[in-house]
């Protein structure tokens, strides 16, 4: 079927490929319209920078308040895209529609006076024309398991900002953060 569509498209006349008309006032007006159609809009799309999804730098802020204790702590993050291996396979199983998977490494081992231990975690992004959803995974004894998600990540092509809430020993902890991706030049 694809071949028949391809052949059908190859015999369909393309706007702007019509035989040249003789010079006349009427034809000049027609030529002006065809010149407008002759501009290559494909170059414009190619000249825009694109997101390099292979790695990011970021940060997370953790906030909790319980029984008079308040924590407001921040850590930096480094993420590298996973494209193979057992962790990648486990993440694909957890989020088969996701388009990018990352191993996330924080710059500190713990926040909130050591009450909230950090370690290597994982992130998965579902990138669509309608936006981005982010899924956050912690490493358990049997592999990664989902700990939170944000279905309304704001994204401008370079900076993704997210927020979610986790439960640590029964205490709700609000997490806000960002992931900054490099933009590839056209």
**pLDDT for 6:** 30
**pLDDT for 78:** 97
**pLDDT for 11:** 36
Bridge partners of 99, per DSSP, are: none
**pLDDT for 46:** 60
Identify whether the C-beta of residue 183 lies closer than 8 Å to the C-beta of residue 49. Answer: yes
Identify whether the C-beta of residue 30 lies closer than 8 Å to the C-beta of residue 16. Answer: no
Q: Count the neighbouring beta carbons within 10 Å of the beta carbon of residue 164.
A: 19
**Which residues, at least 6 apart from 171, have a Cβ–Cβ distance to it below 8 Å?**
64, 66
Where the chain has pLDDT below 70, the residues are 1-46
């Amino acid at each position: 079927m694809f071949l028949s569509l391809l052949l059908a498209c190859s015999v369909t006349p393309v706007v702007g490929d019509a035989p040249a008309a003789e010079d006349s006032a009427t034809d000049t007006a027609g030529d002006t319209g065809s010149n407008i159609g002759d501009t290559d809009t494909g170059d414009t799309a190619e000249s825009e920078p694109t997101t390099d999804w292979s790695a990011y730098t970021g940060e997370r802020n953790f906030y909790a308040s319980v029984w008079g204790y308040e924590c407001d702590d921040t850590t930096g993050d480094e993420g590298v895209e996973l494209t193979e291996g057992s962790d990648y396979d486990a993440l694909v199983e957890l989020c088969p529609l996701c388009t990018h998977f990352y191993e996330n490494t924080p710059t500190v081992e713990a926040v909130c006076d050591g009450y909230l231990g950090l370690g290597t975690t994982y992130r998965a992004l579902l990138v669509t024309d309608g936006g981005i959803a982010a899924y956050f995974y912690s490493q358990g004894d049997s592999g990664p398991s989902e700990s939170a998600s944000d279905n309304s990540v704001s994204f401008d092509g370079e900076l993704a900002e997210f927020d979610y809430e986790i439960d640590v020993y029964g205490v709700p902890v609000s997490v806000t953060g960002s992931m900054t991706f490099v933009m590839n030049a056209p």
